[in-house]
Amino acid sequence: MDLENQKRVLNLTEEHGAENIVVVLGAAEGEAAGLAAETVTAGDPTFAGPLTGVQLGLSVFHVCEPQIKDEVDAGVYDEQVGMMEMVMDVDDIISEMSSIRDEFCKYL
């Protein structure tokens, strides 16, 4: 997650409260999604951004996870995500995201 997005997440969390923020990621690989998820839950693991050492514990999901996919109109989901979902390792992404949530999320 780039430094500007880290700053946005931090500002939104300060403004609205961590319990009111849900982060939805769209990275194409489990490892990349996991890194971003770790950043918004446990703090920036690269020690480079505004979330370094900041454990927000935010709720975080990937757009391909059932918790998000089931909430989106099927036609919109198919149009916006469907093609990418066919080439992603969705099981790997779900596994990575579940692991991060289980370890670091405070708000589910």
The 8-class DSSP code of residue 6 comes to H
Average pLDDT over residues 37-52: 96
- Give residue 108's pLDDT: 82
Reduce the DSSP state of residue 102 to 3 states and report it.
helix
Distance CA 84, CA 26 (A): 10
* Average pLDDT value over all residues in the chain: 97
- Give residue 18's pLDDT: 98
**pLDDT at residue 35 is higher than 90:** yes
What residue numbers bound the domain in which 16 lies?
Answer: 3-104
End-to-end CA distance of the chain: 21
Q: Give pLDDT tens digits for 21-30.
A: 999 999 999 9
pTM of the entire predicted model: 0.94
Distance CA 32, CA 27 (A): 6
Domain tally, the chain: 1
Q: Give pLDDT tens digits for 65-99.
A: 999 999 999 999 999 999 999 999 999 999 999 99
* 1 in Cβ contact with 49 (< 8 Å): yes
